[in-house]
């Protein structure tokens, strides 16, 4: 069990059992296809959990994460980029759909570098997506567009 005491402005805060705090972020990145808003970050001693609200502004299905393609999501921290340790579900949006997802990254609370951005590295706007694609090549061949977008956290 871990116990930490940290100072927030004038107050001392006691954090027990790995939980270190909550940050309301409300950081936004938007283009013609997507609106991505990083709502918040929960800090634990060995990881950070981000709550991210995503809106598909297209008339096509959009795939941001399905686990088939490598390096789909990254957390940038200084010169380091980390892949998520846990993504609760595939991040696939129907036309016009808005959903909130939680993404967990390994990140120690006492590391000196702060998390600077979340990168959705291989966003696919799909012409035809079944969810049964067997390879990265097969999935990318069905995409109208493949691109990346970054959301600054600072």
Which residues are registered as beta bridge partners of 42? 22, 49
User: Has this prediction a pTM greater than 0.75?
Assistant: yes
Nearest to 77 by CA among 108, 36, 41: 108
Nearest to 64 by CA among 1, 151, 5: 151
For 8-66, how does the pLDDT look when each residue is reduced to its tens digit (9 = 90+)? 677 766 667 778 888 999 999 999 999 999 999 998 888 999 999 999 999 999 999 99
Nearest to 48 by CA among 85, 1, 4: 85
Nearest to 143 by CA among 35, 33, 29, 52: 33
Q: What would you report as the CA-atom Rg of the chain, rounded to the nearest whole angstrom?
A: 17
For residues 153 and 105, the answer to whether their CB atoms sit within 8 Å is: no
Nearest to 33 by CA among 112, 110, 93: 93
Q: What is the pLDDT of residue 112?
A: 80
Cα separation, 102 vs 88, whole angstroms = 6
């Amino acid at each position: 069990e871990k116990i930490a005491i940290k100072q927030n402005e004038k107050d001392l805060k006691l954090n027990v059992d790995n939980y270190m705090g909550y940050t309301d972020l409300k950081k936004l990145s938007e283009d013609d296809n997507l609106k991505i808003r990083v709502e918040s970050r929960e800090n634990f001693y060995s990881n950070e959990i981000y709550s991210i609200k995503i809106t598909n502004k297209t008339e096509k299905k959009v795939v941001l994460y399905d686990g088939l393609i490598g390096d789909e999501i990254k957390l940038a921290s200084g010169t380091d980029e980390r892949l998520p340790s846990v993504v609760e579900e595939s991040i696939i949006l129907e036309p016009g759909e808005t959903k909130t997802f939680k993404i967990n990254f390994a990140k120690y609370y006492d590391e000196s570098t702060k998390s600077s951005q979340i990168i959705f590295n291989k966003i696919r706007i799909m012409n035809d997506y079944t969810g049964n694609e067997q390879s990265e090549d097969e999935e990318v061949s069905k995409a109208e567009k493949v691109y990346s977008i970054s959301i600054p956290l600072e």
